[in-house]
């Protein structure tokens, strides 16, 4: 089959049973990053999930390659050049499973929605891409370039997997990662993670406090003890790139504790307001966000960690310098880690325009414009690559939250958009 005929031949509804069968298997793997074991840099669970996926693809007749359990790839077609689609197998922790309305590692369908950790971020998109590759192979579609599905195991914790890929494998001519939203994401904010910490002398501190699960999420629960009294706050978890969608339990708890305990830690947390830190920064397409996300206070030390996403026209040294000025003399040691500098392509860049047109042709939404997001994706780790899909405008998916979900009906337009995108990128010079 000619490549240009492939999108019209895709029967998205007929593909759903196989996609959901694959997704059910993927969701059953608890692929939260864990301590490294010999030959398994992100833990045994991630290595086993990757091995299962690559074995499944090999049985389908694809080239399937493991890159030291950091990542792997599945490839279709021939050609000197290659286009890539990058997805990730790893997930963020589920928190307290009792808060979920169904088991987080069992894909559950009810009321037209699929529930389970990873169904939207990013195992659902991964299942769609692999099924589209099966369709390409079944129809013997003649692409100009090879199509490679790159599968990483540590996107949620800094994308070391893709750094390993870049050192050991081929770079794509063009690519996208279906790990964000439609329409196309032409820019991603930069990301800095910071830590404020100090040690205590014996008997110096009487406050105990714990909050948060991962550094890139708004904490949904926080607890403290002080002189025999217990305190707790419940908020709503959300991705750190969209703090407005959450309710920060750590901040709520510290508001309650401030002035009631002999500790400067609550006040430290409450000072993470952007205005207090001289970080109310924005440009024409993006603005800075800051989330105090992890906290731990005990007899020996106090530690606060946070996540910053900063505008695409700025660079990390300026943000770090503002943090250092803001926290100078506060009594805590500040350390920073620059996770990513910003990424930005002008909307008229040919491969951005090609992806945008794939979305518009399927949805009829010609008014939508390329977006800039706060989230960081694999796009920052591969050349000529951006985030593209699979969340549709106006729909909620609950990534990083309790009861992560996605609508069954959303798979149909997403599949059609992805099919067109594959062909359009293949046709570019």
Provide the pLDDT for residue 399: 86
The string of pLDDT tens digits covering residues 175-217 is 999 999 999 999 999 999 999 999 999 999 999 999 998 898 9
Q: Is 91 helix (H, G, I), strand (E, B) or coil?
A: strand
Tell whether the model's pLDDT for residue 275 goes beyond 90: no
Residues with Cβ within 8 Å of 13's Cβ and at least 6 positions away in sequence, in order, are 412
Provide the pLDDT for residue 273: 82
Provide the pLDDT for residue 184: 97
Mean pLDDT of 31-47: 97
Rounded Cα gap, residues 138 and 127, in angstroms? 16
Rounded Cα gap, residues 205 and 331, in angstroms? 14
Provide the pLDDT for residue 396: 78
Provide the pLDDT for residue 339: 86
**Domain segments of the chain as ranges:** 3-188+343-427, 193-340
* % of the chain exceeding 90 in pLDDT: 92
Mean pLDDT of 62-88: 98
Provide the pLDDT for residue 398: 83
Position 32 confidence tier, pLDDT thresholds 50, 70, 90: very high
Extract the tokens encoding 277. 């830190």
Global confidence as pTM: 0.85
Provide the pLDDT for residue 276: 86
Rounded Cα gap, residues 275 and 192, in angstroms? 17
The string of pLDDT tens digits covering residues 137-155 is 999 999 999 999 999 999 9
Tell whether the model's pLDDT for residue 375 goes beyond 90: no
Q: Look at residues 185, 156, 148, 194 and name the one whose alpha carbon lies nearest to residue 312.
A: 185
Q: Across all residues in the chain, what is the average pLDDT?
A: 96
Quote the CATH superfamily of domain 3-188+343-427.
Zn peptidases (3.40.630.10)
Provide the pLDDT for residue 376: 86
Tell whether the model's pLDDT for residue 272 goes beyond 90: no
* % of the chain exceeding 70 in pLDDT: 100
Q: What is the DSSP track for 270-327?
A: HTT-TTTTT---B-SS-B-EEEEEEEEE-SSEEEEEEEEEE-TT--HHHHHHHHHHHH
Rounded Cα gap, residues 92 and 33, in angstroms? 8
Tell whether the model's pLDDT for residue 362 goes beyond 90: yes
The string of pLDDT tens digits covering residues 381-417 is 999 999 999 999 988 788 888 999 999 999 999 999 9
Provide the pLDDT for residue 400: 84
Contact 181, 389 (CB under 8 A): yes
Contact 367, 360 (CB under 8 A): no
Tell whether the model's pLDDT for residue 279 goes beyond 90: yes
Mean pLDDT of 308-320: 96
């Amino acid at each position: 089959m000619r490549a240009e005929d492939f999108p019209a031949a895709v029967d998205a509804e007929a593909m759903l049973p196989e996609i959901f069968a694959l997704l059910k298997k993927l969701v059953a793997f608890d692929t939260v990053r864990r301590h490294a074991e010999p030959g398994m840099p992100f833990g045994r669970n991630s290595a086993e999930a990757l091995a299962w996926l690559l074995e499944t693809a090999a049985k389908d007749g694809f080239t399937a390659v493991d890159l030291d359990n950091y990542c792997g790839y599945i490839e279709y077609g021939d050609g000197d050049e290659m286009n890539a689609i990058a997805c990730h197998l790893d997930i963020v922790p589920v928190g307290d499973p009792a808060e979920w309305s169904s088991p987080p590692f069992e894909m559950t369908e009810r009321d037209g929605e699929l529930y389970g950790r990873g169904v939207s971020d990013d195992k659902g998109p991964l299942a769609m891409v692999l099924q589209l590759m099966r369709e390409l192979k079944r129809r013997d579609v003649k692409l100009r370039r090879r199509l490679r599905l790159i599968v990483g195991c540590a996107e949620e914790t800094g994308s070391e997997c893709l750094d390993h890929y870049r050192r050991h494998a081929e770079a794509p001519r063009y690519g996208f990662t279906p790990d964000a939203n439609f329409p196309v994401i032409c820019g991603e904010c930069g990301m800095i993670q910071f830590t404020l910490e100090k040690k205590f002398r014996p008997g110096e501190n009487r406050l105990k406090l714990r909050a948060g699960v991962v550094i890139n999420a708004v904490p949904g629960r926080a607890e403290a003890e002080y002189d025999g009294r217990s305190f707790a706050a419940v908020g709503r978890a959300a991705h750190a790139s969209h703090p407005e969608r959450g309710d920060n339990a750590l901040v709520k708890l510290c508001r309650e504790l401030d002035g009631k305990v002999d500790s400067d830690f609550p006040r430290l947390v409450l000072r993470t307001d952007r205005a207090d830190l001289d970080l109310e920064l924005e440009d024409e397409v993006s603005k800075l966000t800051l989330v105090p996300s992890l906290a731990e206070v005990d007899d020996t030390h106090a530690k606060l960690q946070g996540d910053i996403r900063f505008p695409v026209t700025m660079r990390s040294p300026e943000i770090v310098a503002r943090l250092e000025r803001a926290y100078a003399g506060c009594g805590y040691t500040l350390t920073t880690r620059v996770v990513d500098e910003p990424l930005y392509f002008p909307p008229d860049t040919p491969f951005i325009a090609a992806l945008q047109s794939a979305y518009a042709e399927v949805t009829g939404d010609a008014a939508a414009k390329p977006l800039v997001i706060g989230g960081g994706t694999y796009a920052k780790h591969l050349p000529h690559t951006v985030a593209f899909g699979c969340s549709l405008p106006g729909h909620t998916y609950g990534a990083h939250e309790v009861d992560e979900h996605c609508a069954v009906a959303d798979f149909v337009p997403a599949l059609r958009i992805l099919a067109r995108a594959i062909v359009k990128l293949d046709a570019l010079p």
